[in-house]
Amino acid sequence: MQKNVLITGAAKRIGAACARRLHREGCHVIVHYKASEREALELCDELNRLRPASASALQADLLDKNQLERLAKAALEIGGGIDVLINNASAFYATPFGEASEAQWDELLGSNLKAPFFLAQALRDSLKARQGCVVNIVDIHAERGLPDFSVYSIAKAGLAAMTRVLAKEMGPEVRVNGVAPGAIIWPEHDLSDPHKQEILQRVALKRSGEPDDIAKAVSFLVRDADYMTGQILTVDGGRTLFY
């Protein structure tokens, strides 16, 4: 059976890599985006040229629960049901302790934790009926928080906890797992070359990864991990060995 996959934040970066890989493996891909309309439509055009009517784009601000629920409904209508939910959409920026605002807290917790929870809940019946799965894109900093990124780290730690508890809540029909990336794509904000080199010196493989490294792990959890649930795969080139 062809799998219908909803990927949040799929217009660029890791989300787009997941969309391309799962599409190559025969899935129908629903590309969610918030503001990156051009990139989302270009990605869908690319995938539909390879296989007609195999990719769709849907817009929603996941911080708005009404829009989130409309996204879930539209995704179900496009595919006739959802087999796989990949919670990838994420806000990421510094919130130095002592300066963090409530608005930043709401955005970071909302995008990284609240939205994945309520989207999984909205798609629960379809996922259960189709013996589906959920894959959450977590972060290595869920385990050991990143200084100056306390709110983001807290949100990802919550997503890791959610992965484990939803594996209990949604089993036995639905598997819920996660992938924790390390240094895969440098942040879109400025990061100096010396800072990048400092990070890579604490990576056993001495190099950054590629978005497709995460996509491969996601594909494994979707296609081949039939007896795995509640687990988080770390894909970091050995970064966490050097904390």
Query: Which residues are annotated as catalytic?
Result: 152
- What dihedral do alpha carbons 189, 103, 151, 88 form, nearest 10°? -70
> Whose structure tokens read 């942040």?
187
Report the distance separating Cα 39 and Cα 76, nearest Å: 23
Report the distance separating Cα 240 and Cα 190, nearest Å: 23
Report the distance separating Cα 75 and Cα 6, nearest Å: 7
